Amino acid sequence: MALLITDECINCDVCEPECPNDAISMGAEYYEIAASRCTECVGHHDEPQCKVVCPVECILVNPDVVETRQELFIKFERLTRG
Ligand code: SF4
Ligand code: SF4
């Protein structure tokens, strides 16, 4: 699964620099996660770093982007291949 940010986001800017995949950016009204770049931090960290730091817990799993841990690792390898 990739993660997504809900409209409860308060645009605090804390999560964006924590993402090892540059998946988080400011959207039209609040921050967004590019599902194609989110590995749930697989390959980089034990836990999704954006979820760890978000003060309002508005980052959830994206039910539209279902991926196994192995698929997330393949995505990580593709993103880091350079
Ligand atoms: S879970 Fe990790 S890779 Fe996905 S958006 Fe959050 S910090 Fe980035
Ligand atoms: S840490 Fe949470 S509240 Fe802050 S910008 Fe990111 S998603 Fe929004």
Looking at the structure of the chain, the number of domains it has is: 1
Indicate which atom in ligand 1 lies nearest the CA of residue 41: 2
Is residue 50's pLDDT more than 70?
Answer: yes
Mean pLDDT along residues 48-65? 97
Closest residue CA from atom 8 of ligand 2: 9
Name the closest ligand to CA 41: 1
Helical segments of the chain, H only:
49-53, 69-80
Closest residue CA from atom 6 of ligand 1: 50
Tens of pLDDT, residue by residue over 4-46, are: 999 999 999 999 999 999 999 999 999 999 999 999 999 999 9
Mean pLDDT along residues 35-64? 97
Mean pLDDT along residues 58-69? 95
CA 16 to ligand 2 centroid distance, Å = 8
Residues of the domain holding 55: 3-80
What is this structure's pTM? 0.95
Ligand 2 pocket residues where CB is under 6 Å:
5, 9-15, 31, 53-54, 56, 58-59
Which amino acid makes up residue 68?
T
* Domain CATH code at residue 12: 3.30.70.20
* Cα gap 22→73, rounded to integer Å: 16
